Amino acid sequence: MATSHLGSAASQQTSPSRPSPSYLVDGVSAVAIHNGVARIQFMRLNVEGKPEPSVELAVPVTQVKSLIEAFTKASR
């Protein structure tokens, strides 16, 4: 499975015939904040059960709190 980066996909417009991609991840491998952007690197387990990078989510720091609140609310 190829590694995808949302940064490049974010600039592409989606349409009804081209839905947004969905990803299943097994965890978070790294979080970094630089220049007002939080970058969250997710990982997945390969067929041998070893972690490998999966997808990166880039979120403006100003939106991190609302993202955390949304995940918290959804997990209840």
Q: How many structural domains does the chain have?
A: 1
Q: Considering the entire predicted model, what is its pTM? A: 0.69
Neighbours of 29 (CB within 10 A): 16
Q: Measured between alpha carbons, how far is 53 from 63 in angstroms, rounded to an integer? A: 23
| Residue numbers of the domain that contains 26 | 22-74
CATH code of the domain containing 63: 2.30.31
pLDDT of residue 10: 47
Please check whether residue 5 lies inside any domain of the structure. no
Contact between residue 33 and residue 18 where contact means Cβ atoms under 8 Å apart: no
Please check whether residue 1 lies inside any domain of the structure. no
The ranges of the chain with pLDDT < 50 are 1-11
pLDDT of residue 76: 92
pLDDT of residue 19: 86
Please check whether residue 49 lies inside any domain of the structure. yes
